[in-house]
Chains A and B, each alone.
Chain A
Amino acid sequence: MSEHPLSFKRLQKEESATFDRSTLDYIHRAAATGLYEIRGLGAKRKLPHFDDLLFLAGSLSRYPLEGYRERCVTKTVLGTRYAKKPIELDIPITIAGMSFGALSANVKEALGRAATAMGTSTTTGDGGMTPEERNSSKTLVYQCLPSRYGFKPDDVRRADAIEIVIGQGAKPGGGGMLLGQKVNPRVAAMRTLPQGVDQRSACRHPDWTGPDDLAIKIQELREITDWNTPIYVKVGATRVFNDVKLAVHSGADVVVVDGMQGGTAATQTCFIEHVGIPTLAAVRQAVDALEDLDMKGKVQLIVSGGIRSGADVAKALALGADAVAIGQGTLMALGCNREVYFRDGQPISAEADYAALGTQAGACHHCHTGKCPVGITTQDAVLEQRLQPEWGAKHLKNYLKTLTMELTTLARACGKQDVHHLEPEDLVALTVEAAAMARVPLAGTRWIPGLDGR
């Protein structure tokens, strides 16, 4: 007697690892639409990250500082190489470039207010500089992007620093995207576009290609600003060692390296998940490049891409960054992916709006739709009221304050009177991958995989 095949229930219902449910969804969706998926935020896959590193704090061989009171400097100076007016910040945590268009004007204002209150800088994005963010930001970094949407010499002269964007961690080698639903009359006017059209911007700058040309472009911006203004160069993390070296050769004052966990308002998922290297690996390569050129400390390094906590900041600094930039984390401080938004201090559920997008709080990446349930990544006149600048600024300030306290707590525990004195030797790795990428020993060993051929 043979048993009936249906009695082997699990075998009958075994899911394919290659063609799992997500993959099936992906294929069915592609077949239905004929278009790649476009979405917001950053990589969702699990990557080696700062969580895989741990600090070796003081004990008997090293002495910790008193955690609450003893001096621990967070002051950060950026752009000391050529600019007559370098940027001086109170903390090494800056706000990353995010465009008006991707974000509402209220959000841009909230970012500016919080950054100013914390003595740090905020950054424009594609689409130009709004009066809200200029007026609310003491220190504003003005991005020069391939699209040059809304790029104006008056704003160049108004900026405290200029950041030439070559790539973004979420999509190195790719251009910008802003789908038509977010191109409202104000966004359209700032970008010189018809209202409501899909905006696909270029992946290369219109007037230069390569480091030899970039050197001339940087010189142009220096001439226009009479050599006062620091010039940053931002690259998405791929061939980081080469790219950082070339940014330095081209004359950058500051290099910004955005790892693959960096966010985006709208990019092809294939880019977000399959291009670039993790931030952890990128920091080390960037520092190697600066040290190779004897430029460590002369050209400052800002690292971004998935920085969330004070521990992340401390680890980035220990690996050699001079500062970090945070994008997605700041939006989450404003309520991104939260179940509720606030009106007059009262929480109001946004769950129905998440559901209408086919998602839920905690899993939303629908920045590209312009229908942000909590009023952050939207240009909709009703939705954008869900995030008021005062409320947002207060929460973001609290977030930045928390990160700063965590950073100094960790630095003091390692015996540092200045957060910039954290060093790679203060770290060990939990995984072989992280040990190899960050080039710190696996915890409890002296082994750094790949070093000296081991």
Chain B
Amino acid sequence: MCGIVGLLLKKPALHGQLGELMVPMLIGMTERGPDSAGLAVFGAPLAEGQRKISVYSGLTAAGADYPWAALLAALNEALPVQATMQLKGNHAVLTVNGPAAPVQAWLKAHDPKLHLLSAGRGIELYKDIGTPAEVAARYGFGQLRGSHLVGHTRMATESAVTPDRAHPFTAGEDFCLVHNGSLSNPNGIRRMLEPRGIRFETDNDTEAACRFLEWRLREGDTLHAALQKGFEALDGFFTFLMGTPTELALIRDPFACKPAVVAETDDYVAIASEFRSLAHLPDIQHATVFEPAPEEMYVWKA
């Protein structure tokens, strides 16, 4: 049960304003989700052979004082990936040469308490507990640049309020999902996926949806086909907003109980659970504002 926001800037000249435009959107969803907040931002992709890995140290004993420099040195010692690092408190974004998987495995072995948030050429991910305003300030969301992003504010239903259960959820590379609603068969989905080698990190229902859809994409489905299979497999109430390096996608279940509204101008597409998260956007008075229909797939290209 939550608030979701998404923003896609159509003109590269505007990419510098992505974070600044998004922060009031996220804060507008505070009442729908006061527990925790997060976002995934997609920027210009790295070169083919490079990957970015977002890592969270908030679950370790050191927390925000994590010895990141030592970690970086040890990583570069162990693997020939020429890793570099950008730090924001208890979040670090590593950039490495070569595939993500060996680095992820090394990080997990190095410190099992490190939480790997995302991996890919375009995606960076930040999430934590606290009000949206607190989380946005903590990680400088206002300064983020990029073409599009997916954000979320959480009111936990069944699983606990912890940073790893905040949204967005990711699976595989360069894919993330946020959810408003409550699935009624997440455990069946997990039991179906686990024998296929898909590992779950939380008991959150959203993670089940996220890993299911990413599994379909990895199995070769188009986004359209994966979402269609999602409609068939996932029971319950949901509005899902998903991000890939090239698109934002939105679906609502057939009952469409959980809200969503879209505003589109020549400059942007903005999505939120409620209009009050869109009210501050430039030229909103002249935007095309509509409510996405249930069981329709909406895909916007970055």
Contacts and interface: CB of A to CB of B under 8 A. Distances in A.
Q: Do chains A and B touch in the complex (CB under 8 A)?
A: yes
Interface of A: 204, 209-213, 215-216, 239, 242, 245-246, 249
A210 B3 contact: no
B237 A249 contact: no
A245 B159 CA distance: 11
B33 A210 contact: no
Contacts of B181: 210
A216 B34 CA distance: 14
Query: Main secondary structure on chain A at its contact with chain B?
Result: helix
B54 interface: no
Nearest to B3: A212
Nearest to B181: A210
Contact of B1 (A204, A239, A246): A246
B157 A242 contact: yes
A210 B158 contact: no
B15 interface: no
A211 B3 CA distance: 11
Query: Main secondary structure on chain B at its contact with chain A?
Result: loop
B155 A212 contact: yes
B31 A215 contact: yes
Interface string B99-122: 000000000000000000000000
Contacts, number: 37
A212 B158 contact: no
Given A210-B237, A210-B257, A246-B157, 8 more contacts: A204-B257, A209-B237, A210-B157, A211-B155, A213-B259, A215-B32, A239-B158, A246-B1
Interface in B29-53: 31-34
A216 B259 CA distance: 13
Contacts of B2: 212
A211 B158 contact: no
Contacts of B33: 212
A63 B32 CA distance: 50
B180 interface: yes
Nearest to A208: B257
A211 B257 CA distance: 12
Contacts of A246: 1, 155, 157
Contacts of B32: 212, 215
A242 B258 contact: no
B182 interface: yes
8 contacts: A210-B157, A211-B155, A212-B32, A212-B33, A213-B257, A215-B32, A245-B156, A246-B1
Q: Which 3 A-B pairs have the closest CB atoms?
A: A209-B257, A212-B32, A212-B1
B11 to A, nearest CB: 33
Contacts of B157: 210-211, 242, 246
Contacts of A209: 237, 257-258
B34 A210 contact: no
A204 B257 CA distance: 11
Contacts of A212: 1-3, 31-33, 155, 180, 273
Contacts of A249: 34, 155
A249 B35 CA distance: 10
A58 to B, nearest CB: 40
Contacts of A245: 156
A234 B117 CA distance: 38
Interface string B169-184: 0000000000011100
Nearest to B255: A209
A245 B160 CA distance: 11
Contacts of A239: 158
A216 B275 CA distance: 14
A215 B1 CA distance: 11
B81 to A, nearest CB: 42
A211 B33 CA distance: 10
Interface string B235-248: 00100000000000
A146 to B, nearest CB: 13
B17 to A, nearest CB: 28
Contacts of A204: 257
A281 B60 CA distance: 35
Nearest to B256: A209
Nearest to A211: B1
Nearest to A209: B257
Contacts of B31: 212, 215-216
Contacts of A213: 257, 259
Interface string B246-280: 00000000000111000000000000010000000
A277 to B, nearest CB: 15
A249 B33 CA distance: 10
A211 to B, nearest CB: 5
Nearest to A246: B157
B34 to A, nearest CB: 7
A46 to B, nearest CB: 30
A246 B180 CA distance: 15
